[in-house]
Amino acid sequence: MGARTRRGEVGVVDLARELGISTATVSRALNGSSAVRPELAQRVREHAEARGYVANRLARALSANTSRAFVGFVIPYVDTPAYSAVAAECARLLSRDGTQMILTITENDPELEHRQLRELLASRVAGLIVSPSTHILDASKQLLTSVPVVQLHRSCGIEAPGVFSDDEQAMAECVLHLAALGHRHIAYLGTPVALSNGAVRLRGVRRGIELAGLNEDDVTMSLVEPTQQNGHQATLDLLREKPTALMIGGGSLSVGAAHAVRERGLRLPDDLSLVAYGDPSWFALSEPPLTTVAVSYQALAETAAELLLARLDERHRSPATTHLIPPQLRLAGSTGPRNPGEHNGVPGGNAC
């Protein structure tokens, strides 16, 4: 067909010709094959360097039919650091390994997710880090068996290692904390149980209720898809029940909830004790600073990236381990003793 296009770039053939050796040897030298005379290998590498050679990753990956040129990162949402910041951090870490990260957003849509997974596989990604959509298709799970996968934040019950925040313990602690402060009428705003992390957090809340000797009826619950919008609306609804404490199980929900609480003019912690969930650096800025189930996104990202890279190395699959990152219950000014006199209602005057 002839030179389709050739931006004056150097390729292995050029190097081979210039060095008077074969392309095979060039390739071997550049890939650190032991079957090359070290001195020759050195010479090849130097020449490649001098000529500014950079291997075409497409050709390399296509030819090898498996390489770590690309990995895919699949997340449902963009508007929370739990996803976007973790994605960026993973990209940073993976690039140290020479691996490029393709980022795709499913918008929590199972069909879209399926298409994106297919396209990712069509790019011959070496592996995937995935936060599955809430109602992931079986077909998608099937696709996830064909390549090393690490599950992040959410599990979809496939045989693959995962990195999650260890929320059960933290949520239970949270309930105990509120109960110890005298709260009996608590509201919980979390994510649906169809979401693995929603289920885990709810389990924690239930365990806390039990341990605190509370009645399950004392806790009003609302489980919604994790968006700021939903968090805002659900909080307004929950507040109608006049709980004395509100705990949130989700980062986006927390932001929405905080706005709703402020909108209603509730004073923290006098009118309401509030426990947020997620990235601490923001909530600390609130006044009073919010008691927070603080998740280390940094640790999550690091673990996920390491896990995937390790996975890419092994030819023999190791068991699918689950890695739990313990969040911290950071006590701050938004939680306090239940105020027995004033069942929060009217924004009630000044603090002084």
Contact stretch for a second copy (CB under 8 A) within 34-42, 55-63, 169-177, 214-222? 55-63
Residue number, 26 or 171, with CB nearest to DNA: 26
Site for DNA in 5-64 (CB under 7 A): 5-6, 9, 11-13, 20-28, 30-31, 34-37, 40-41, 53, 55-56, 59-60, 62-64
| Nearer Cβ to DNA (26/94) | 26
Contact between 79 and a second copy by CB under 8 A: the answer reads yes
CB-count exposure of residue 66 (10 Å: 0-12, 13-18, 19+): exposed
Using rule CB under 8 A, residue 322 touches a second copy:
no
Tokens representing residue 345 in the block: 């209602």
Phi-psi region of 109 (alpha: psi -120 to 50; beta: other; left: phi over 0): beta
# residues contacting a second copy (CB under 8 A): 62
47 and 18 in contact (C-beta within 8 Å)?
yes
**Residue 167: both structure tokens together:** 């929320």
Q: Is 59 in the site for a second copy (CB under 8 A)?
A: yes
Six-digit token pair at 173? 């602690």
CA dist 123 and 233 (Å) reads 40
Site membership for a second copy, residue 101 (CB under 8 A) = yes
Using CB under 8 A, which of the segments 35-43, 104-112, 203-211, 238-246 binds a second copy?
104-112
Tell me which stretch binds a second copy (CB under 8 A): 100-108, 130-138, 181-189, 324-332: 100-108
With CB cut-offs between 5 and 8 Å by kind, which of a second copy, DNA, none does residue 102 bind? a second copy
Smallest gap from Cβ 321 to a second copy, in A, equals: 26
The single-letter DSSP state of residue 113 is H
CB of 176 to DNA, least distance (A): 56
Whole-Å CA distances, 23 to 13, 17, 55, 58, 133: 6, 8, 13, 17, 45
What stretch of H or E contains 324? Answer: strand 322-325
Q: List the one residue from 17, 37, 57, 343 that touches a second copy (CB under 8 A).
A: 57
User: Left, alpha or beta for 348 (phi > 0: left; psi -120 to 50: alpha)?
Assistant: left
| Among the listed residues 4, 96, 315, 316, the single contact to DNA using CB under 7 A | 4
Asked if the peptide bond before residue 347 counts as cis, ω within 30 degrees of 0, the response is no
Q: What does the alpha-carbon distance between residue 58 and residue 64 come to, in Å, rounded to a whole number?
A: 10
Residue among 28 and 141 whose Cβ is closer to DNA: 28
Residue 158 exposure: Cα atoms within 13 Å on the Cβ side:
24
Instruction: In whole angstroms, give the CA distance from residue 253 to residue 247.
Output: 10
Question: Is the separation of the CB atoms in 131 and 75 below 8 Å?
Answer: yes
Residue with Cβ nearer DNA (30 or 186): 30
Angle between helices 12-19 and 23-30 (to 10 degrees): 110
Q: Is 236 in the site for a second copy (CB under 8 A)?
A: no
Could you tell which of a second copy, DNA, none binds residue 137, using a CB distance below 5 to 8 A set by kind? none
The reply to whether 282 sits near a second copy by the rule CB under 8 A is: yes
Q: Which of 4, 240, 315, 316 is the binder for a second copy (CB under 8 A)?
A: 4
Nearer to a second copy, 5 or 318 (CB): 5
Query: Which residues of the chain form contacts with DNA (CB under 7 A)?
Result: 1-6, 9, 11-13, 20-28, 30-31, 34-37, 40-41, 53, 55-56, 59-60, 62-65
